[in-house]
Amino acid sequence: MLVLAGCVGGPGNGDNATAEPDLPEEDVDEPVGDDVDKESTHDETDAVTEGEETDETDEKPPDTTDVDGDLEFHHVDVGQADATLVVTPSDETILVDTGDWRQDGSEVIDYLESEGVDRIDHLVATHAHADHIGGHAAVIEHVETDGDGIGAAYDSGVPHTSQTYENYLDAVEEHDIELLVVEEGDELPIDDESVSALVTNPPEGDSGDDLHYNSVSLVLEFGEFRYVTTGDAEADAEDRIVEEWGDDLEGDVYQAGHHGSSTSSTAPFVDAVAPEIAVVSSDHDSQYGHPHDEVLEAFADRGVETYWTAVHGDVVVTTDGNEVAVETEAIVSTDGEDLREAKHAADDPHSSLSRTINTPLGLTSLPG
């Protein structure tokens, strides 16, 4: 884990940074410009610390006897973007991504306020695309000014030539926030010892400048429960993660990679995770067609209970380390085939969801 202690002096400047393009997603992933040197984000390193690695990957700490309280995952409905708030039993907070640049953090800030969250202990940027770090600068400013501040920020260390990325780095520097670059094998330094957050991507060492390939991926554990999230990691990254981490991936809840795109959630990866529940964060009228039909069908074929923020709204997953409860704003079907039909509904995406769940809390008992 590379420490960039609150002084990033980000690559590029306001004059060189570009406005966020309204382009198909494949085009948004433009290469880093010549004026941006990846190494420049590492020049002011103060220290290097090694992440904790598990020698025996078939072990699954922490032990359930030490687990008390609930772990919460709040998947905020931010449209064609990602933002997930994690709250540990001791009220330690992890915010993974902050929505789209067009929202400028407003929906995430509103959600934090509605939940009474005034401190973010760990602010994670899975990668530098503007639909993932779009609210970083605003959230940092809000929490540092009106709340109890940011504990530390984490990202892949791969820069981007955008104004949104520049604003994020400026906010980190202005508020003297410790910025840490993570790689596989690291663990987020969570004070709550009952919860662990293992980094499974980006790869160790120099892995190029592709933002998706280096997307920060995490496996969070609490008792017998595991949660897997991969940002926008695609097939090549998923293949590497499966090869390197194997049994560490088997989980209960999976946040579908790349907003449910078929470039992610490949069969080998989904089979390795073997989730009971999947959560997709994207718009109903996504210009990219997310979630793709193939992904919804794959979840349906595997009997995965699927939640999609476009139709379910905010999706909150709560676990005591053994059982899982899912609460949504809208009580509609979680069958992948039903959701596929809803995606193609011309007007109201809820109109074709004929099979509904009976209660706002879907309880799932996990093996243990």
Upper half-sphere CA count for residue 155 (Cβ side, 13 Å): 28
Tell me the C-alpha distance between 30 and 256, whole Å. 23
The lowest-confidence range among 38-52, 63-77, 323-337 is 38-52
pLDDT, tens only, 183-197: 999 999 999 999 999
Domains of the chain, start order: 2-6+67-365 (3.60.15.10)
What's the pTM value of the predicted model, to 2 decimals?
Answer: 0.81
pLDDT over threshold 50, residue 256: yes
Q: Determine the pLDDT at residue 332.
A: 93
pLDDT over threshold 50, residue 264: yes
pLDDT, tens only, 91-138: 999 999 999 999 999 999 999 999 999 999 999 999 999 999 999 999
Burial class (CB in 10 A: 0-12, 13-18, 19+), 303: exposed
Q: Determine the pLDDT at residue 191.
A: 98
Tell me the C-alpha distance between 271 and 229, whole Å. 15
The helix (run of H) or strand (run of E) holding residue 47 is strand 47-48
pLDDT class of 353 with cuts at 50, 70, 90:
low
pLDDT, tens only, 200-241: 999 999 999 999 999 999 999 999 999 999 999 999 999 999
pLDDT class of 247 with cuts at 50, 70, 90:
confident
Tell me the C-alpha distance between 169 and 213, whole Å. 21
Residue type, 184: E
